[in-house]
Homo-oligomer: A and B are copies of this chain.
Amino acid sequence: MSERSDSLPIVLDAMGGDAGAAPNVEGAVAAARAGVRILLVGDPVRLHAELGKHEASALSQAGLLEVVAATDVIGMDEHASDVRGRGEASINVAVKLVKDGRGAAVVSMGHSGATMASALLTFGRIPGVDRPAILNHVPTLKGFGVLLDVGANTDVKPQYLAQWARLASVYLRVVEGRENPSVGLLSIGEEEHKGNALVLEAHALLRGSADLNFYGNVEGKDIFKGTTDVVVTDGFTGNVVLKLAEGEAKVLFTWVREALTSSWRAKLGALLVRDALREIADRVDPSAYGASPLLGLRGLAFIGHGSADARAVKNALLRAARARDAALLTKLAGALQQV
């Protein structure tokens, strides 16, 4: 219970995600046990039933867990634009709680497009930001780095990339304590004359930004090497990269599992190496980071995987609480204002 008593709770869209309420409630209970105050938004009957499975009444009595009713849900197969006029949808209720000053940040494992749309419509943008971007955490040889945009914006302008580089630099400095984060521009060669039309223009813009620690162009191979702290790209390329990276890791681990059961000799060896290999699988598991901040809005929002498990929900809630405690929003707005 290390939380300051005056800080606002984190708001969880507890109906969001492929598996509905169960992993959301389990993750929220775990985060509440770690001292984070949480508002659970959704169908009260469902949520209280799930809470009942986790002996959470002490947490509720301590004010760490509170249910806020929402009678509607945006389904994973609906359109992002369906958030309009659905005031009772859990994501809209959750975002509004933050807008109204009753919560510090919203976290959702539900429909990403709907979460973005709801947050954009309700919070609005920070002055100096043309488009918000989703930032993703990527495991690297040096620990982890961040990649953005990973899907909010498919067709972009050079200045968006510069704005996102700025937002990501502040995020890493403020929330992760990384001093003077380096920024790489994703391209197809290190040389500054390599890239598509967007990248060539963005390169010049980034090079001329005195407030950024611009490294230059980076390539696909640099993402996992961790050549720079931040890798900035358009939301089309970023989304392809993100899904490829997760898909490749899954396939490689499938092959490793097959290899470790391919003979009696391998099976015996597998018993001895299993723990060491599991640690790698954990490192590349997106649930280690929980959720991705949507940066550039006048409100904090974190977007997770639809397939998020309780561990991911818990980590997302802890990350949101860290961003709140670091006054991330104020610092993002300040950095953009100075430009």
Contact = CB atoms under 8 A, between A and B. Distances in A.
Contacts of A246: 220-221
Interface residues of A, number: 60
Interface stretch (A55-63, A206-214, A234-242, A315-323): A234-242
Interface string A272-292: 110111011001100000000
Interface in A238-296: 239-252, 254-256, 259-260, 262-263, 265-266, 268-273, 275-277, 279-280, 283-284
A196 B277 contact: no
Contacts of A240: 186-188, 219-220, 233, 237, 240-241
A141 B255 CA distance: 8
Number of copies: 2
Contacts of A243: 188, 219-221
A155 interface: yes
A180 interface: no
A250 B222 CA distance: 11
B244 A259 contact: no
Give me the 6 closest cross-chain CB pairs, A-B, nearest first: A269-B272, A221-B247, A220-B243, A220-B244, A259-B276, A269-B273
